[in-house]
């Protein structure tokens, strides 16, 4: 089974801090994704990556950046955290080129910015 591991289930940070959310997958998937999930809004794509050092903006990239130095690891960075970034963050991975193959999700990180 695919395992997608997010480093923290719960995280509390302060406004203005630089925050790192880490995600690791164990299936050698090329594609990795970061979403945020908010009540009534569903999942919205922040950034995704097709390969090491490759990244593309999703639908809501403002205030975020990402890093993919190794294939198995995809990091989401909040450069200067703000209270409107309090949310649930989900990481996912997927094999490339196989359209019907699903994305596999981590458990999520519930991030609170105070």
Partner 1 sequence: AQTVTQSQPEMSVQEAETVTLSCTYDTSESNYYLFWYKQPPSRQMILVIRQEAYKQQNATENRFSVNFQKAAKSFSLKISDSQLGDTAMYFCAFMKGANSKLTFGKGITLSVRP
Among residues 45 and 77, whose Cβ is nearest to partner 1? 45
* Range 72-91, binding partner 1 (CB under 8 A): 90
Selected from 7, 11, 13, 45, the binder of partner 1 by CB under 8 A is 45
Selected from 62, 69, 84, 97, the binder of partner 1 by CB under 8 A is 97
Q: Which two tokens stand for residue 49?
A: 């990556």
- Residues belonging to the chain: 114
* Exposure letters 65-86 (e unless 16+ CB within 10 A, then b): ebbbeebbbbbbebeebeeebb
Instruction: Pick the piece of the chain touching partner 1 (CB under 8 A) from 16-24, 67-75, 78-86, 99-107.
Output: 99-107
Q: Is 52 in the site for partner 1 (CB under 8 A)?
A: no
Residues 6 or more apart from 31 whose CB is under 8 A from it? 48, 49, 50, 93, 94, 95, 96, 103
Q: Is 42 in the site for partner 1 (CB under 8 A)?
A: yes
Pairing of strands 109-113, 10-13: parallel
- Distance between CA atoms of 71 and 81, rounded to whole angstroms? 26
Selected from 14, 15, 96, 114, the binder of partner 1 by CB under 8 A is 96
Under the rule (CB under 8 A), what is the footprint of partner 1?
31, 33, 35, 40-45, 48, 50, 58, 90, 92, 94, 96-100, 102-103, 105-108
């Amino acid at each position: 089974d695919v395992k997608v591991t997010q480093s923290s289930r719960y995280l509390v940070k302060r406004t203005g801090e630089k925050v790192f959310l880490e995600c690791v997958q164990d299936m050698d998937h090329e594609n990795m994704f970061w979403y945020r999930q908010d009540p009534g809004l569903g999942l919205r794509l922040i950034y995704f990556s097709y390969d090491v050092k490759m990244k593309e903006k999703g639908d809501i990239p403002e205030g975020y950046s990402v890093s993919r130095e190794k294939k198995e690891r995809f990091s989401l960075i909040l450069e200067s955290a703000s209270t409107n970034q309090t949310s649930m963050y989900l990481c996912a991975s997927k094999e490339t080129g196989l359209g019907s193959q699903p994305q596999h999700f981590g458990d999520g990180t519930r991030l609170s910015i105070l």
